[in-house]
Chains A and B, each alone.
Chain A
Amino acid sequence: MAERTVKFEVKRQSGPDAAVVWDKFELPYHPGMNVISSLREIAANPTTVDGKATTPIAYDSNCLEEVCGSCAMVINGKARMACSALIDNLEQPVKLQPLTKFPIVRDLMVDRSVLFENLKRVKAWVPLDGTYDLGSGPRILPQVQEENYPLSRCISCTICMEVCPQFNESTGFVGAATIAQVKLFNQHPTGKVLKEERLHALMGDGGIQECGYAQNCVQACPKQLPLTRAISDIGRDVIIQSVKDLFTT
């Protein structure tokens, strides 16, 4: 019996300005293999199906259990995390491409630092007085914790931005992940001291108004963040804030 194999087609680019090529690979099948374990196997023997020696494929990964957010890519046309993409559940040939909305670094690696910049812009933190001992934190009811915890599970993978029709250069939209973090920190008993500043940061060009409610984000998010709800809640708060601003300026 012929050995069972898995076929891959990988979109490659040796640098931001380099030409695009597609390389094909074929690997022996093992139970439980996923896209990252396959890329590693290719690295150990970087030869295409036509026997051409090539370089190992560049990609990002770290935790291998879908919690660090590194390995987002487009797999068979869908933006998702590669480490949890089990080969058993994928149609062949498995087609791998980098995310399309971010600058290419090399092969499947892209530069997603824009998300971290956005988090800076909306001051996604609790402004502590200091790390010295000030006793215990505010009491928080379990119901409130249960509402906030899911928002705090965002792994910054940027998939919600990748799949959003509004996330592009012309709108400069911040994207769903950042808005969800605004909600998280605005709900925190201490974090909400910066609520107005955060809402202001979401006004105007690139702000929350750019959202077209396509709802792609909430379907694609690997951590099932309640993104559409966060967007509508924060959208409402932004409107209320702009009305307030009218009367205070």
Chain B
Amino acid sequence: MTIGVQCVPQSKKGKFEIMAANPRIIVVGGGLAGLSAVIKIAEAGGKVDLFSIVPVKRSHSVCAQGGINAAKNLKGEGDTTWNHFDDTVYGGDFLANQTPVKGMCEAAPGIIDLLDRMGVPFNRTPEGLLDFRRFGGTLFNRTAFAGATTGQQLLYALDEQVRRYESEDKVQKYEGWEFLSAVLDGNRVCRGICAMNLRTMEVRNFPADAIIIATGGNGALFGRSTNSVVCTGSANAALYQQGAYYANGEFIQVHPTCIPGEDKLRLMSESARGEGGRVWVPRKAGDSRAWNSIPSEERFYFLEEWYPKYGNLVPRDVATRAIHRVVFELGLGIDGQAMVYLDLTHIDRATLDRKLEGILEIYEKFVGDDPREVPMKIFPGMHYTMGGLWVDFNQMTNIAGVFAAGEAEYQYHGANRLGANSLLSCIYGGSLAGPKAIEYAKSLPAAQGDGGHAAEKKRQEEINTGLMHSDGTENPFKIWRELGETMTKNVTVIRYNKALKETDEKIYELLERYRNINLSDKTTWANTSFAFTRQLYNMLQLSRVVAQGAALRDESRGAHYKPDFPDRDDERFLKTTKAYFAPDVDEPRFEFEPVDTQFIKPRPRRYDAAK
């Protein structure tokens, strides 16, 4: 491979411009998506700068529990990548573009092999082969897993490979740096990033020929969620305000089984049901008996009764709405509260320990009960962001040179993500984005002038100076709490247009109050509340995309459910929502784009019978 720069004829006039033969790529985010991209670039001989708020080994991907899907068909069930493709498209209520989903499902078995070769301690069968379990929205055993800490094991395997490249000087890590914005030149082509050192609070520009955004989801818009603290969506929101389309923002996944908590909704993975866990409530409202004195005929296993074919393993949107119905319409929540049982007590301890220990430990540590002995009490919670930066089939956003992968983009899950498909889409998307970014960068003409660097740095520094001199009265953490409360109340499981409108008005009010913010810490060393306050502004802007997008979509599809429009409306809404920021009005505008349905014709989605 040639190193350095080459002269290549560029324009029709035959003028020669310099372009990079050995491009410099920046990857923002060190979860599964970001690390996959880094590995591919380093392997191809490229140079990568990797940015992450937290040390990459502490990225949110570490939380993933249940597993990763691939139709390896090692259980003699006749599973195929086509089945996986069909389950994914059907599970997503036909909103996902089919070409990329098909590519992902076909690549999945190879991805599992690769992870296996990297040393991921997947659970094994007696013959030493990979073991697979069931997950929601499929009738096949298709989910590979490493106990109940699959994300941790996958993240570590990729982290180790990246550390190896780092020791060979092919990767430079910038941990503890936050991406603030892309640097765009006069033609709106990306020339690098502007980032902030979270210790010195220094703002600095880093030139690059292409950047890959892999900054994960945005659970923090909802206050409490199953996500990690840094999942604020701030990077995405910054790019959206710089002109990137944000697609399908209204599609967020509320996971049916979480432990409600003060600071976080802790997930009890779908794998608990994949291994045989059953969801139930007492049949009689107000039944105050202890769980073990309620005989089985007086227990209402509502998912099994309502959805006999899939039972407890219906997709998440379906399970979540069922729990809502049982609790709020039928009034059958345990002790009259918003809780239902997730019961594993009929499964033997050895199996539970071998396959689910990681999550059982979480329940034990945070609730104090042993779920091997007593059923867990759970309730749905905000979990995953189906929407994200709009990208083309090469993972590039509409801003030239800005790529995106992982939960940060929108492409693989449509209106509802199937369990264990996210880790797959992160690794697949990242592995695709890396080489595509190199390809793009290799034919990128050199920037004119400074490529917009000075102007962008100045813009970001001005934001910081403004905040540092703020002397208002509004506390950022209180604004955030109010945002989370409204979003959770009105923009999660059940959506009404009136409430959505009120939500948007509320966010507008919060944005107004933001202008009167008071920063309780104005120091310039490791100032975490300053960084958070910056992110909060972006979160508010992005929340409007979610709320307004939900208001516009007058139908019910996947996770988006409007009782006033209970049916899917393919004629009007078999379309990708694309929001863009309109600076003049300081709010989103929307476009709709047809969905690629060339392989599987949309059909009604129902889980009470086989597909």
Contacts and interface: CB of A to CB of B under 8 A. Distances in A.
B109 to A, nearest CB: 9
A83 B128 CA distance: 36
A59 B228 CA distance: 15
A65 interface: yes
B525 A15 contact: yes
A155 B149 CA distance: 11
B57 interface: yes
B113 A139 contact: no
A142 B163 contact: no
B147 A149 contact: yes
Contact of B163 (A37, A86, A120, A134): A120
A106 B117 CA distance: 40
A34 B124 CA distance: 36
B146 A65 contact: no
A162 interface: no
A144 B122 CA distance: 11
A149 B128 contact: no
Contacts of B126: 141-142
A187 to B, nearest CB: 10
Contact of A55 (B58, B230, B477, B521): B521
Contact of B113 (A54, A120, A137, A145): A137
B552 interface: no
Given A58-B526, A145-B124, A131 B365 contact: no
B308 interface: no
A137 B54 contact: no
A124 interface: yes
A34 B262 contact: yes
Contact of B124 (A36, A119, A140, A190): A140
A152 B159 CA distance: 13
Contacts of A15: 525-526
Q: How large is the interface on B (under 10, 10 to 19, 20 to 34, 35 or more residues)?
A: 35 or more
B595 interface: no
A201 to B, nearest CB: 12
Interface residues of A, number: 71
Contact of B229 (A64, A84, A116): A64
A64 B228 contact: yes
Interface in B518-550: 520-521, 523, 525-529
Contact of B58 (A62, A126, A142): A62
B71 to A, nearest CB: 14
A146 B164 CA distance: 26
Given A67-B149, A106-B525, A136 B113 contact: yes
Interface stretch (A42-50, A210-218, A230-238): A42-50
Contact of A43 (B39, B60, B262, B477): B477
Given A65-B264, A84-B366, A126 B160 contact: yes
Contacts of A69: 57-58
Given A137-B117, A145-B124, A153 B63 contact: no
A40 B113 contact: no
A136 B116 contact: yes
Contacts of A146: 354
A135 B113 contact: yes
Contacts of B118: 126, 128
B477 A40 contact: yes
Given A68-B58, A86-B366, A124-B163, A188 B116 contact: no
The majority secondary structure among interface residues of chain A is loop
Interface string B303-319: 00000000000000000
A140 B128 contact: yes
A37 B528 CA distance: 15
A53 interface: yes
B153 A152 contact: yes
B166 interface: yes
B139 interface: no
Interface string A66-110: 111110000000000001101000000000000000000110010
Nearest to A34: B263
A133 B230 CA distance: 34
Of A40, A61, A128, A134, the most chain B CB neighbours within 10 A belong to A128
Interface string B155-182: 0110011011011000000010000000
Interface of B: 39-40, 43, 54-55, 57-60, 62-63, 110, 113-114, 116-119, 121-130, 146-147, 149, 152-153, 156-157, 160-161, 163-164, 166-167, 175, 199, 228-230, 261-264, 266, 354, 358, 362, 365-366, 368, 431, 475, 477-478, 481, 520-521, 523, 525-529
Given A62-B60, A137-B116, A142-B128, 18 more contacts: A14-B523, A33-B262, A34-B262, A44-B477, A56-B528, A61-B229, A64-B229, A64-B266, A67-B63, A68-B54, A68-B59, A125-B119, A125-B163, A128-B117, A137-B113, A149-B147, A152-B146, A155-B62
20 contacts: A44-B478, A44-B481, A46-B521, A56-B520, A58-B527, A65-B264, A67-B63, A68-B60, A68-B228, A70-B54, A86-B366, A116-B55, A123-B167, A126-B160, A136-B113, A136-B130, A145-B123, A152-B121, A190-B119, A191-B119
Interface of A: 14-15, 30, 32-34, 36-37, 40, 43-46, 53-56, 58-70, 83-84, 86, 105-106, 109, 113, 116, 119-120, 123-128, 130-131, 133-142, 144-146, 148-149, 152-153, 155-156, 185, 188, 190-191
